[in-house]
A and B are shown apart, each in its own frame.
Chain A
């Protein structure tokens, strides 16, 4: 579950306006914290279609998204810019995403209905619980054991402290 941070969006605006170097540094540090998860999640994505019938084939007229390993791996990424407000009134500060349709299917298939003829045949088990469970991104996130989250929070806190320090220097210089 995401951690609620107060004032982070205002901090980032302030950094952007008054300390672009710190803003850049914050983005860089958050990205550095999230990249390992992304790389690991890409590694969890199968390099070829896990089911022979799910592979991309020519002249297919079906609408069901076929599994293309390149697209599926490419769809996994991170985002360090604040998102739009969701229905609950929250704005995400940093997030991990699995954007491709086939990647999302591989990620979540079998969450609700573990049986059937499709999801049991997929390689790799589902890690996590409820909506925070999956085969690739969620698995990588679970195996990260919150290190990325701590690093992101630490980066924000460090930026806040550095900005405060810079503000004091700024005030002194101005005086």
Chain B
């Protein structure tokens, strides 16, 4: 993939570059440290113990061999010889001991073996074969097998080699390779090997000293005790790590929360809350680690230092370093987040883009705190309201209980249920309020009662004995409400009928006790509507009392209409009779002759008529001016204005009758009839 890119603008973010440079610096520091010290102390100490162990093993093998050969007294001198050869030639004792062991096993003579070892060193230095191979060959020669000489290029045929004696073979080797070892030891390579041998010797000594030191330090009398002590240390160290594991496990939730918090902290608007949460977690973790550091880890390190100060140095140092770094890191982290928290509290200082973010975070924080306060207030308010509601409910329940068990109140309630008389109801309601210590409400009922009494007295004075408007309206409303309540409740049909019957019964009783219904037009239109509604409901309800109510309402209406019709018929009959008498009287007289001219001095005036045939009386003249004197005198100057109206057909109610009369009269005035001219009636 090609990488042809032109960056127009870029931003330095830096983290990766810094990481790389930090890694490089760390690597450089490590390299420098190793360069200055040479090798790490840990490696030196480890190698020392290892070298000592191997050397010890080889020396023990050689000593055992010498002991078995009956040459145990030569052990110290052999070791001394090997050390000297090692330093002189640079050949390590690791090679010298096996070679010497081979030779001494072969010869059975320690001194002879020492001489042969020197020969082997010369042959090895003069040839390309190592000391172990040469030693084996020499051992074979001592045993009479000279075949191995052929590889050393001595210029002898196989046949010649085969016939060589041991001494001859050894002499040939000495003659060929004598002094080679000494010469070789003076070369640069051999010198380095000799230095190396010295270092290895020092290592072995150091290792021996360490083991001795450990035995001394632990108070171990022998290696077995030291081993046991080290095993005990292992158990102790295991306990320590178990304790660390326990702490981690116990704080696993916190650690997870820490990770979650770290993940969530960078989401918008959660910085402050995140920092606070992290501080809490880190504080707890830090306490745990500090506790661990002060107790279990400290004990473990102390034990480590006493029991195995050097051999377990790397082991212990790593643990110490890890714990120290962890605790130190946590301390630093706590400090950092402490600083961050302080910084978060001072976010008013513009951070990015003129403080837009900072303001936003501050606002979010303030809004969050405000919301917390508001929530708390709302909760408190709700709690108070709930308590108040509960107290009120309790109080009302108590009052109800009191009302139920207080005899007087019970009597009032029962009386209210039993009566529908407005006067009585008002008295009972006033009494009930007085019992409830509600004086204002009681006074209102008393005022209503006074008004009602006044109205009743007024009605009595006016001769009205029927039920008044207000009373009828009141019992109408009571009945309608009761009927509605009965319809809305879930009582059975029988119960509903019984309740309706009782309601109608009380209604009827109230009307009858109040003097019965007056004429319908005595009441307001609303009351009449209510009466009509009650009549319809009563027609629907199949109970006897409802029928009685219907009868009352119908009777009132019918009697009213009949009375009206009878009155109208009487008026009509009277009018007819009067008109007939007038007509008979008129027939008995001669008709006057109307005049056609006439002056101002006497005689009849010529009549004038306006639009619609209406007579005009100029100059203040009257009807008499147009009539003959005879007529005027015979009638005595008076005119009969009585009108007879005959109503035919059926009339529904009083209103219809009145309408017919009015219309008839108006038509008479406008158009006139056979008996009277238009406008003749006053």
Q: Which residues of A are interface residues toward B (Cβ below 8 A)?
A: 2-11, 14, 17-18, 34, 82, 85, 87-101, 103-105, 107-108, 132, 134, 137-138, 141, 148-149, 152-153, 156, 160, 163-164, 167, 170-171, 174
Contact = CB atoms under 8 A, between A and B. Distances in A.
A163 to B, nearest CB: 7
A99 B2 contact: yes
Interface stretch (B348-356, B397-405, B599-607, B661-669): B348-356
Given A85-B16, A88-B17, A89-B14, A160 B6 contact: no
A91 B5 CA distance: 13
Contacts of A167: 353-354, 356, 359
Given A7-B353, A167-B354, A167-B356, A89 B9 contact: no
B623 interface: no
B2 A149 contact: no
A5 B10 contact: yes
Nearest to B17: A89
Contact of B13 (A9, A148, A153): A9
A50 to B, nearest CB: 17
B17 A92 contact: no
Contacts of A148: 8
A92 B13 contact: no
A14 to B, nearest CB: 6
Contacts of A134: 4
A18 to B, nearest CB: 8
Contact of A2 (B9, B13, B16): B9
B12 interface: yes
Contact of B12 (A4, A103, A149): A4
B455 to A, nearest CB: 66
Interface in B351-367: 352-354, 356-357, 359-360, 363
Interface in B1-25: 1-18, 20
A9 to B, nearest CB: 5
A68 to B, nearest CB: 14
Q: How large is the interface on B (under 10, 10 to 19, 20 to 34, 35 or more residues)?
A: 20 to 34
A167 B13 CA distance: 25
B222 to A, nearest CB: 61
A10 B11 CA distance: 10
Given A160-B353, A167-B353, A171-B359, A5 B6 contact: no
Contacts of A164: 353-354, 356
Given A164-B354, A164-B356, A167-B354, A91 B11 contact: yes
Interface in B250-287: 268
B353 A14 contact: yes
Interface in B326-377: 352-354, 356-357, 359-360, 363
Contacts of B18: 89
A116 B229 CA distance: 78
Contact of A92 (B3, B4, B9, B14): B9
A155 to B, nearest CB: 10
B16 A93 contact: no
Nearest to A88: B17
